[in-house]
Chain A
């Protein structure tokens, strides 16, 4: 089963490779990884999607937590979370099919962000299922290029991030 891990790290050189290398060394395959800063510029959030059963993921979580620069690891899989991915899809489009593509884009509440004579770039945001469905619908028209971010995620509601509070300096 796929697990979504949210990892808060100190924003320091090399921390991404430490985390990524740990997954590799312990024999886990990262399906996607997304990294960016949080509301506190000293802290980054890594969102990692990894395949494994509950026990395996618990094990890797404990190992990640041992890294000195890792502040917090949460497995959001069983929480009520908002998870989003973004994809840019360059599709073959000319006068014959452009309107059909625009219809699909409308239905998915996606956007066309670039238009040229032979192609358009579609931007879609959503959970993995939605992005997959969008790609499926556009495929018959000819996908020329596809770029997908990893998933980012957040737990719903107003639960605070406890680890952010005890950080006084970094």
Chain B
């Protein structure tokens, strides 16, 4: 939002202060005051008053085809813009349909503000038609939620909702609005500040701790920087780069941290963890100092916690004190905003370079590059990702769904900037990727947006093809079609003696026809020589397009540290079994 817009917004709020208006008109004014540009929503009885106030079109509304889509779109919008995404659903089933999307935003700390209608206050608790206790249901998957009991409180609650969602460790906030509240009239007043005595995120890190961290870095022979989603949400990528370069620290990132450090930088180790690079996992295993920044030692990263980074002293920087010491003891805990802490730490750290350590890592990189098998006449899924990277020159926003293709995207597309790679990391919710791409494309119309999705997961939210068509949202959909629930099949191959129970999708629909049914051009790609031209054509297409790319059905994601294990049990180090 430009400065002129900001001033205009403030003036409009001032002009309306003290005016009598419908609560739902006030709702619109409050959202405008928050700078909300778009709402992803779906109507129903309990939100008809809100929809009536939206009718004038003061705020863009995107009509989805399933409320789960609305929540994921708000999430995708938030991830690429850094601003809270907004979704809206009716009471009961509309509200419960948001749940998966909110849970995913919660697990990944994404600022989303969800509005739901509810039955009238007098009917709450009576099992009224389309009543759901959505504040109760979303208690464990929101940062906070509100049930609006008095219409006059609505502006204050909206102000607090946006503040809570977007500050500190971000997260989703839900506001539940009973229908009778929404039809009342109020005196409009949008507060300029919030008064939340129990909510005071720590931003600045403790200087004593920061100095101690600087000393530990100076003393380390084998340091590794391990960055997570907190780097993206706090916008600390430049500070991370400065720290890594100043002290020549090899840097690895989690799935959520992708883009927090340039993937093509000589100090980049790529992603770590279950499907991380061999050299990232080796480096962490051998490290004598692990600098965790905005990361939470998730089990997909650590495997067996007892054997994770066994020789390392840990510096843990996080805005959320409850993350520190949760899974791994921190020798030097620093509570604070990653950007704020790192900007001080970078100054305090002395330039240094551990040549032996860097040489060791270079050796691992030579010995174990990321690689995969190619079979003649068959498209390798990893190649698809590499070629999408080439065709988009590494500048696209790419969303993943969940499964093998999600890991291949993380491994083979090299992200150089934050807020370009979107993945349902914590919840791992199939159905996330395509709607998230729609939200991303709405938030960043200036960038190409690719939805890299699975043949399984795409079918969980494919109805949003209608949304894409209706608003002509230029999402490029690339289905990595292996005719399997590939990740499930892979585990069954490796751990269940190839008993492919309920993972075969060879009866998939014709995705090209499906796209065409929605009025979206589709292309099937099944031979290796067709791949590049199809990708180029898709990239050159103005509006949305779907590619159904038939790949090697039995390709596996390697390397792999099976769940709960450690680097010692890593398999597929050279891109195939038996290595």
**Chain B neighbourhood of A10, CB < 8 A:** 197-198
Complexed CA–CA distance, A166 and B147 (Å): 26
- B139 interface hit (Cβ, 8 Å): yes
**Chain A neighbourhood of B196, CB < 8 A:** 68
Is A14 a contact partner of B135 (Cβ separation < 8 A)? yes
- A51 interface hit (Cβ, 8 Å): no
Number of cross-chain contacts by CB at 8 Å:
45
Is A67 a contact partner of B198 (Cβ separation < 8 A)? yes
Contacts A/B (CB < 8 Å), 7 sampled: A13-B149, A63-B322, A65-B321, A66-B320, A68-B199, A166-B197, A168-B195
Is A59 a contact partner of B326 (Cβ separation < 8 A)? yes
Complexed CA–CA distance, A152 and B196 (Å): 26
**How distant is A113 from chain B, measured CB to nearest CB, in Å?**
36
Complexed CA–CA distance, A102 and B239 (Å): 74
- A17 interface hit (Cβ, 8 Å): yes
Among candidates B135, B139, B195, residue contacting A169 with C-beta atoms closer than 8 Å: B195
**How distant is B76 from chain A, measured CB to nearest CB, in Å?**
26
Complexed CA–CA distance, A9 and B199 (Å): 11
> Given contacts A63-B322, A66-B322, is CB(A17)–CB(B139) below 8 Å?
yes
Is A68 a contact partner of B144 (Cβ separation < 8 A)? yes
> Given contacts A58-B325, A59-B325, is CB(A68)–CB(B164) below 8 Å?
yes
Instruction: Find residues 19-55 in chain A having any chain B CB closer than 8 Å to their own CB.
Output: 21, 25, 55
> Given contacts A59-B326, A66-B322, is CB(A21)–CB(B197) below 8 Å?
no
Q: Which residue of A lies closest to B199 (CB)?
A: A68
Q: How many residues of B contact A (CB 8 A)?
A: 19
Is B322 a contact partner of A55 (Cβ separation < 8 A)? no
Chain A interface category by residue count = 20 to 34
**How distant is B335 from chain A, measured CB to nearest CB, in Å?**
10
- B125 interface hit (Cβ, 8 Å): no
**How distant is B183 from chain A, measured CB to nearest CB, in Å?**
22
Q: Mark B117-145, 1 if CB is under 8 A from A, else 0.
A: 00000000000000000011001100110
Other than the known A59-B325, A66-B320, A167-B197, what 8 A-B pairs have Cβ atoms closer than 8 Å?
A9-B198, A62-B322, A63-B322, A65-B322, A68-B164, A68-B199, A71-B198, A170-B195
Complexed CA–CA distance, A66 and B318 (Å): 14
Complexed CA–CA distance, A18 and B188 (Å): 30
Instruction: Find residues 275-328 in chain B having any chain A CB closer than 8 Å to their own CB.
Output: 320-322, 325-326
**Chain A neighbourhood of B147, CB < 8 A:** 13-14
Q: Mark A132-170, 1 if CB is under 8 A from B, else 0.
A: 000000000000000000000000000000010011111
**Chain A neighbourhood of B144, CB < 8 A:** 67-68
Complexed CA–CA distance, A53 and B135 (Å): 32
**How distant is B480 from chain A, measured CB to nearest CB, in Å?**
35
> Given contacts A62-B321, A62-B322, is CB(A68)–CB(B139) below 8 Å?
no
Q: Which residue of A lies closest to B200 (CB)?
A: A166
Q: Which residue of B lies closest to A71 (CB)?
A: B198
- Listed residue (A18, A59, A66, A163) with the most chain B CB atoms within 10 angstroms of its CB: A66
**How distant is B200 from chain A, measured CB to nearest CB, in Å?**
9
**Across the A-B interface, the 8 shortest Cβ-Cβ residue pairs:** A62-B322, A167-B197, A71-B198, A68-B144, A63-B322, A68-B199, A62-B321, A25-B140
User: CB within 8 Å of A: which residues of B?
Assistant: 135-136, 139-140, 143-144, 147, 149, 164, 195-199, 320-322, 325-326
Complexed CA–CA distance, A62 and B324 (Å): 10
Complexed CA–CA distance, A67 and B198 (Å): 8
Complexed CA–CA distance, A67 and B139 (Å): 11
**Chain A neighbourhood of B195, CB < 8 A:** 168-170
- Listed residue (B147, B149, B198, B322) with the most chain A CB atoms within 10 angstroms of its CB: B198
**Chain B neighbourhood of A70, CB < 8 A:** 198
Complexed CA–CA distance, A17 and B138 (Å): 12
**Chain A neighbourhood of B139, CB < 8 A:** 17-18, 21
**Chain B neighbourhood of A168, CB < 8 A:** 195, 197
Is A59 a contact partner of B197 (Cβ separation < 8 A)? no
**How distant is A28 from chain B, measured CB to nearest CB, in Å?**
13
Complexed CA–CA distance, A14 and B149 (Å): 12
Complexed CA–CA distance, A111 and B320 (Å): 49
- A128 interface hit (Cβ, 8 Å): no
Complexed CA–CA distance, A17 and B135 (Å): 11
**How distant is B496 from chain A, measured CB to nearest CB, in Å?**
29
Complexed CA–CA distance, A168 and B195 (Å): 9
Complexed CA–CA distance, A163 and B200 (Å): 12
**Chain B neighbourhood of A85, CB < 8 A:** none
Complexed CA–CA distance, A112 and B411 (Å): 74
**Chain A neighbourhood of B143, CB < 8 A:** 68
**How distant is B177 from chain A, measured CB to nearest CB, in Å?**
15
Q: Which residue of A lies closest to B326 (CB)?
A: A59
Complexed CA–CA distance, A58 and B197 (Å): 22
- A69 interface hit (Cβ, 8 Å): yes
**Chain A neighbourhood of B321, CB < 8 A:** 62, 65
Is B326 a contact partner of A170 (Cβ separation < 8 A)? no
**Chain B neighbourhood of A166, CB < 8 A:** 197
Is A170 a contact partner of B197 (Cβ separation < 8 A)? yes
Is A69 a contact partner of B322 (Cβ separation < 8 A)? no
**Chain A neighbourhood of B320, CB < 8 A:** 66
**Chain B neighbourhood of A58, CB < 8 A:** 325
Q: Which residue of A lies closest to B197 (CB)?
A: A167
**Chain A neighbourhood of B135, CB < 8 A:** 14
Complexed CA–CA distance, A25 and B140 (Å): 8
> Given contacts A13-B149, A68-B198, A170-B197, is CB(A59)–CB(B136) below 8 Å?
no
Complexed CA–CA distance, A63 and B199 (Å): 13
**How distant is A139 from chain B, measured CB to nearest CB, in Å?**
40
Among candidates B140, B164, B198, B326, residue contacting A21 with C-beta atoms closer than 8 Å: B140
